[in-house]
Amino acid sequence: MHFLRNFPLRAFNTFGVQATAQRFATVSSEHDLLSWCASRDRDETPLLIGGGSNLLFTRDVVEAPVLQIAPRGARVVFDEGDTVLVEAMAGEPWHAFVLWTLAQGLSGLENLSLIPGFVGAAPVQNIGAYGVEISESCDSVATVDLATGNTREFSNTECAFGYRDSVFKHAEAAARDRYAIMRVRFRLSRKFTPRLDYGDIKARLERSNVTQPSASDVSRAVIAIRQSKLPDPAVIGNAGSFFKNPVVEASVANDLKARFPAMPQYAGKAGVKLAAGWLIEQTGWKGRRLHPFSEAGVHTQHALVLVNHGAATGAEIWELAEAVRADVQEMFGVALDAEPRVV
Ligand code: EPU
């Protein structure tokens, strides 16, 4: 593995903020990573990144090497009957991989179209959209354990998936960066069962006069919805939803509903999920900037997305996040947790 010194990270985070890695390397194979592990200083935990689409750098990274896990490729592992096992390498761009599965006649990931980032980061976050999470189709995750220098595979159960959560966010022994995800396997289907429970998709398909949608039709509908609501990171820096939707107890939700009858609420197993975007919009932050001349702002179309209008620093975006969070706390008594990783 070849380390670069004082490496600029602007092109490696979709917020497009400037930060420097004192040491940076791209990992293009498991073999390279294992060889590096054999010779490295074990006390040092590297910072692992993928496509940088769920990451906010508020400072330079000096204490640890930054490793971008980027091996490429995708293949069918097992194809028998209706279930097909596919494997993608961690550095495959997620959306390209979804399109590849659709081209193979496979369904299961269509609702997750157009999510930015790499395949390897998908299980960390348990990425989800339009009523589907990868926890439903992820079969297993192959990693390199940087603490031991050995490989380790996680079954779906061992991944301990939750809402935007998994074992990889807080694995054993404070080791968020302990496991470098190298490959992810998915169990997909040749028989398409549409998942249209999320209102917008049905409406979008009806508008296009699609009555018997294929998986590709659903993918196209999801792409259209995302493009209409969410800013394209290639045009305006952002990391998608900046906060998780908070989950509160039923009694708290009832109280809030009495005070704010229009508040969207979604009852689930773990409690009642609130729409952080709605909460933020009520505080008046939607479309605003940290201060009039700041380039850190809240997106005009979706209050859950913080954006970099140009030259905002990561620290400024974080300051904006704190201000938004404080106002939501004050107005609703609800705490918002950041969704991206903040360095
Ligand atoms: N809303 C507002 N104002 C806003 C934004 C949203 O009132 O400015 C309301 C909407 O009207 C709706 C509710 O909030 O009633 C939920 O909004 P939306 O359907 O846009 O979904 P979300 O809960 O804000 C989540 C995910 C998205 C995912 C969408 C669709 C999280 C944190 N975010 O957003 O994921 O695409 O659902 O499934 O769970 C991401 O994680 O980066 C991401 C974009």
> What is the rounded CA–CA span in Å between residue 295 and residue 293?
7
**Pair 137, 186: CB distance under 8 Å:** yes
The model's pLDDT over 274-293, given as tens digits with 9 standing for 90+, comes to 999 999 999 999 999 999 99
Q: Measured in Å, how far apart are the chain's first and last C-alpha atoms?
A: 24
Which atom of ligand 1 sits closest to the CA of residue 303? 8
What is the reported pLDDT for 177?
A: 86
Classify 275 as helix, strand or coil.
coil
CA 230 to ligand 1: nearest atom? 44
Residue type, 229: K
Residues 6+ apart with CB under 8 A from 88: 73, 74, 97, 119, 183, 184, 186
Written as six digits, the tokens of 52 are 């940088």
Q: What is residue 26's predicted lDDT score, i.e. its pLDDT?
A: 97
The Cα 332–Cα 155 span in angstroms is 39
Q: Is the CB of 240 under 6 A from ligand 1?
A: yes
pLDDT for res 41: 76
pTM (predicted TM-score):
0.94
In the chain, what are the domains?
4-69 (3.30.43.10), 74-189 (3.30.465.10), 237-342 (3.90.78.10)
Beta strands 20-27; 66-69: pairing state: parallel
**Rounded Cα–Cα distance for residues 36 and 41 (Å):** 10
Please indicate whether residue 304, judged by its CB atom, sits closer than 6 Å to ligand 1. Answer: yes
Instruction: Tell me, using a 6 A CB cutoff, whether residue 288 lines ligand 1.
Output: no
- Whether 339 is a known active-site residue: answer yes
DSSP letter, residue 45: P
CB atoms within 10 A of CB 98: 26
pLDDT, residue 80, reads 85
Alpha helices in 267-313 (DSSP H): 276-283
Q: Read off the amino acid at residue 322.
A: E
pLDDT tens series, the chain, 343 aa: 899 999 999 999 999 999 999 999 999 999 999 999 988 877 788 999 999 999 999 999 998 999 999 999 999 999 988 899 999 999 999 999 999 999 999 999 999 999 999 999 999 999 999 999 999 999 999 999 998 899 999 999 999 999 999 999 875 545 678 899 999 999 999 999 999 988 789 999 999 899 999 999 999 999 999 999 999 999 999 999 999 999 999 999 999 999 999 999 999 888 999 999 999 999 999 999 999 999 999 999 999 999 999 999 999 999 999 999 999 999 999 999 999 999 9
Q: Nearest-CA neighbor of 182 among 101, 92, 116?
A: 92
* Cα 247 to ligand 1 centroid, rounded to whole Å: 14
List Cβ neighbours of 301 (8 Å cut-off, separation of 6 or more).
228, 229, 230, 231
Mutate to test the pocket of ligand 1, among 125, 278, 286, 331 (most ligand atoms within 8 A of CB): 278
DSSP run (H or E) holding 111: none
Residue with tokens 């299980």: 123
Task: Look at residue 228 in the predicted model and tell me its pLDDT.
Answer: 92
